[in-house]
Structure 1
Amino acid sequence: MTTPYEARKERKRGLMEQAENLQKVLDTLKFRLLVNQGEVKKATKRTEVENALLYELVLGQHLAHASMQAALTGHAQRSLNRLQPVQSVICLGTSLAERANTLMTLKDRQLDNAERYLAARSRALDLRSSYCHEERFDSCEDNYSVVRFETVPVRGANVKDVFEAMLGSVLNSEIFLSEIFGCVAVREDSDFETSEFAQLRLVTATSTGTTVESNTVVFSRFVDDGDDGKGSYGVLASDFVDVDALYPYRIGERVRRDGTTIVLVRELQPTSGKVPEVVVTRWTQLKLHRSTAIVSHNPDTELKESAICYGDTAKTFIQQQLVNATTTDDFP
């Protein structure tokens, strides 16, 4: 026997179904009326116009962005022979004491400028995600240049280990280049390799048959839990020697390769209970000089086999030193 409550419930359900059906019929009648009055066509046209305007707006934003990129790229191409970030004109004489004083004078300025530039360059980026931007140029002097900026997060390692791995790859680049590419890379004797700075004179016989030489000074600094709230971080700056009275460039026998690289290694504060991450930020410019005496057969290959900071060359060796580290992407 059906109770009064069940009867009312069943009647309510039936009325709701009728209401839904009536609403569908009403919507159909409204649509037919709009069709008869031509309103559907008008609404469609209005939507088409709105979509066209929206498309033009989005396209205009893309074109404005492309124009900005073109302006920046054009400026970069025209400025290849000007001083780049943290690049200095380095001239070393014959006196060992004078050479050491010149480099000591440069150290703090180079490292401070490197830290400031990389902080500014990466300010708007999500440092927990990998990012890389690379440009390649042939200058009006027919020199070949590669400019690269990147940020790479690293998990599972501390700041000091990552920084020492990065510094070690630079200071021992002749070993790494020979191992990974099978080329003959030789580090010629230099006068300095201290905790303050190092001079690296490298000669590489590449697989293309070209001999590439470079003369680079490297400055580094590691700050352990600084008082400025930054925590522990390391900064590295390397720059090429413009003129060396003791070891002049042998432009009639070798291809000259200039390189300027700055690196900042710092710890990111953990969020939402996640483990701390270390982020490596790097900017580098490499330039291969072309001359009538020495013909460059393949500038990309010659840069790759003569510079540890070219592309991802150092990645393999740094990962070997950070066995327990897990990277979110290719390490620099």
Structure 2
Amino acid sequence: MNGEMKCGLEREGAWPTARDGALAVPPKKRQVTYWARKVSAYSGAGCPLFVQPQRSELTMPAFLWIRPRRASSVKSERRATLMGIRMQQLHTGYQYTMARCGSLDQTTICSSDNRFETDQGDLCCDRSDVHTFEGVKSLQQVYDAVLFSVSNLEISVSERLGHITVRDEYEEEEGVVYNSRVITTNEHGVTTESSAVIFTHLFADGDPAFGGEPCAVMASSCVEEDELYPYLSMERVRRDSTTAAVFTVSKHNPTASEAGGAMTGEESSLVDVTMRRTGLMKLHRPAFPISDTALREVQDGVTSWSAIMLKIIREMVKTQAQKAHPLYTRICLTKDWEERRATLMAIRMEKLHNAYHFTMARCGSLDQSARRSDNRFETDEGHIDLDRCDIQVFEGVKSLQQVFDAVMFYMTNMEITISERLGHVAVRDDYVIEEGVVYNSRVIITNNDGITAESNAVGFPHVFAEGDPAFGGEPCAILSVDCIDEDELHPYVPSERLRRDASTAVVLTVSKHNPQSKHGNQTGNVGPAAETSGNGKESELVDVTMRRAGYMRLHRPEFPISDGELQDLHDGIAGWGKIMLKTVREILYL
């Protein structure tokens, strides 16, 4: 095979050629042709999606259309052809993408999307965008997410678009170059096909030819002709996509809420990764009859795959970031009780250690007078997240043990308290793994709207009455609670119940009682023993500070529910923290 290359801008007179950065012939006004006529019925007057290509689009560098003219049926020749152009593709992809995206603002999600129709009736989309993934572990983490999205594209397209998608992958060099074909059929029975070669590389230590700093590059080119797998233009709509993505890394710039609290060592090592993408996609004019409705859906899907890729990366990075939270540990329980016990006992000390150090650091900047930080937000996937920390001081109590017992009373009687105070029907199943050491509990709650939520959690309590060097060296008590990811005995039922995950921690510390301070418990009350002055008992009282930190997620429902019902349910569950505090106060002071 001679590895012949051809520039698509010059073939079949698709566009005028460019020399020395100028157009060989002036662009002529576009006619409303095949795609525009088909789609105009849906867009009203005219078709704003189809515009005359601008100068920058006509002078696109050759890399975006350079590709193997013919992919041989001999495997060794196919590999040699692709390996021969690999570094050229990566280098040109890097240079062009950095230049093309240079004018876009990297502080927000910005994009440029220009669609137009060629004289031959092909629909083209020239697109570039910039996205920043903030607070991730590393460039490698995002790069792995990119490779995952590319290697599982057919699954994602099937799940998210409802299209029947088949993917054939032929690795020419594992982790370096591979060729893939994707055939997808939409709900109207229209089939599209694409054949592409993807070149990837992670420059972990930087490379002078690629900016000199750590970066990752992915360059994708469509295959023009393939002797093994020829295009079937009379049966399928051909989809060409020639794109490049560049990933660069910078020091993490914390948000205002992050900067307001103390950062752990793990948080301080986070980075921001910026993804720049650019490319040209072409949907060839169908060579067979197709209805307007079916054609419109095919046209709308021109850029949908890139949107799916972005969503997958964000989901993976967010999920990994959530799962990297110091209070979270992935926990999977089998049906065997001995295995369940062994799994939980093995992580117990780690959970207590992480709970203590993260909570003390997270609450370190808060004033110890019933202050809190409460941040709520909705993810791109529709989950409702709550990140919260607070400090409460219980003044004039008998002991650290007294407050710890009150906290544990609430935890072991949660369903009763919630039912009484919120009027919800709550059912709790408790499974003591090791008395006073580890316990597993499930709570299923139904609110007044008939919406049911479920949670499955494991708790690790402990009192360090004499102190421990690994936990500050002073007396303290810790309760670490984490969600169960998978449970063979009690699987989640997302089709009927909303799933609630929580990774939280409570740390209790003790100090000498200050009778002059009246602000800590917000009521001016002190423990029962202090009500009678001069009996000698008041001097034995202590102040116990409770620090709480955690992360809660209410998963997106997989069944019909109104926005109002969802908000009511979220407000009720978010109020569990207040119910806990009120219960503890009543036990201590009433």
Report the TM-score, using the length of structure 2 for normalisation.
Answer: 0.40
Quick one: which of 419, 439, 449 aligns to 1:208?
Answer: 449
Deviations 1:243-290 (Å, cap 9, x if unpaired)? 001110011111111111100001134579877421100012221111
Of 387, 392, 412, which residue of structure 2 is paired with 1:152?
392
- Structure 1 distance, partners of 2:255, 2:385, is 21
Counterparts of 1:88 and 1:270 in 2: how far apart (Å)? 36
- Give 1:188's aligned amino acid: D
Other-structure match for 1:292: 558
* Structure 1 residue identity aligned to 2:544: V
Q: CA deviation at 1:161?
A: 1.0
Q: CA deviation at 1:311?
A: 3.8
**C-alpha distance in 2 between matches for 1:137 and 1:111:** 28
Partner of 2:349: 108
2:381 is aligned with 1:141: yes
* 1:126 positional shift: 3.8
Q: CA 1:187–1:139 in structure 2 vs 1: closer, same or farther (change >3 Å)?
A: same
CA contact (8 A) 1:202 1:215 kept: yes
Q: Secondary structure at the match of 1:208?
A: coil
- 2:429 aligns with one of 178, 188, 191: 188
Residue 493 of structure 2: aligned partner: 250
**Residue 162 in structure 1 maps to residue 441 in structure 2:** no
Aligned equivalent of 2:474: 231
| 1:95 to 2:336 alignment | yes
In the aligned structure 2, how far is the partner of 1:70 from the partner of 1:225? 35
Secondary structure of 1:118's match?
A: helix
Kept after mapping to 1: 8 A contact 2:456/2:483: yes
- Is the CA contact 1:253–1:294 (under 8 Å) kept in the aligned structure 2? no
Q: How many Å separate the matches in 2 of 1:243 and 1:104?
A: 17
Q: 1:159 to 1:300 in 2, by over 3 A?
A: farther
Mapped partners of 1:165, 1:234: distance in 2: 12
- Contact kept in structure 1, 2:453 and 2:498, CA below 8 Å: yes
Partners of 1:215 and 1:141 in 2: how far apart?
Answer: 22
Q: Secondary structure at the match of 1:89?
A: coil
Q: Tell me the CA shift for residue 146 of structure 1.
A: 1.3
Instruction: Report the Cα distance in structure 2 between the residues aligned to 1:148 and 1:268, rounded to whole angstroms.
Output: 24
Render the CA deviation track for 1:59-117: whole Å, top value 9, x for unaligned: xxxxxxx98406769x9x99753222320000001111101100101111001111111
SS of the aligned residue for 1:216 comes to: strand
Greater RCO (CA < 8 Å, at least 6 residues apart): 1
Retained in 2: the 8 A contact 1:255–1:294? Answer: no
Q: Distance in 2 between matches of 1:208 and 1:145?
A: 21
Check 1:294–1:104 CA distance in 2 against 1; reply closer, same or farther (3 A cut). farther
SS in 2 for 1:301: helix
| Structure-2 change in CA distance of 1:116 and 1:243 (3 Å) | same
**Greater helix percent: which structure?**
1
- The residue identity in structure 1 corresponding to 2:343 is T
Q: Tell me how far apart the structure 2 counterparts of residues 124 and 187 of structure 1 sit (CA, whole Å).
A: 36
SS where residue 192 of structure 1 aligns?
strand
Residue of structure 2 in register with 1:282 after alignment = 548
| RMSD after superposition | 2.9
Q: Which one has a larger percent strand, Structure 1 or Structure 2?
A: 2
Corresponding position of 1:316: 582
Change (3 A) 1:191 1:131: closer
**Of the candidates 507, 518, 534, which is equivalent to residue 264 of structure 1?**
507
Q: Indicate whether 1:118 and 2:349 are aligned.
A: no
Q: CA, structure 1 residues 267+250, in 2 after alignment: closer, same or farther (shift >3 Å)?
A: same
Quickly say closer, same or farther: Cα 1:196–1:273, change in 2 above 3 A.
same
Aligned residue for 2:490, secondary structure, equals coil
- How many residue pairs get aligned? The number is 255
Return the alpha-carbon distance in structure 1 between the equivalents of residues 428 and 576 of structure 2.
Answer: 17
1-structure distance, mates of 2:392, 2:333: 35
1:24-55 deviation per Cα after TM superposition (whole angstroms, max 9, x unaligned)? xxxxxxxxxxxxxxxxxxxxxxxxxxxxxxxx
Retained in 2: the 8 A contact 1:177–1:305? no
How far apart in 1 are the matches of 2:476 and 2:366?
Answer: 18
SS at match of 1:117: helix
Inter-partner Cα distance in structure 1 for 2:553 and 2:334: 24
Q: 2: CA distance between counterparts of 1:205 and 1:219? A: 26
Please name the residue that 1:69 is paired with. Answer: 256
2:132 is aligned to none
Cα distance change on mapping 1:68 and 1:141 into 2, 3 Å = closer
**Offset of residue 149 of structure 1:** 0.5
Which amino acid in the other structure matches residue 231 of structure 1?
Answer: E
Unaligned ranges ≥5, structure 2: 1-252, 261-270, 272-313, 518-540
Distance 1:271 1:320, change over 3 A: closer
In 1: Cα distance, 2:392 partner to 2:455 partner: 27
- Paired residues of 2:396 and 2:513 also in contact (CA < 8 A): no
Output one character per residue of 1:204-252: Cα deviation in whole Å (capped at 9) or x when no partner: 0112220111101011110112264743210000000000011100111
Gapped regions of structure 1 (runs ≥ 5) = 1-65, 325-332
Give percent identity, aligned residues only. 28
Tell me the equivalent position of 1:302.
569
Find the aligned partners of 2:433 and 2:349 in 1 and give their Cα distance: 17
CA distance, structure 1, for counterparts of residue 448 and residue 382 of structure 2: 22
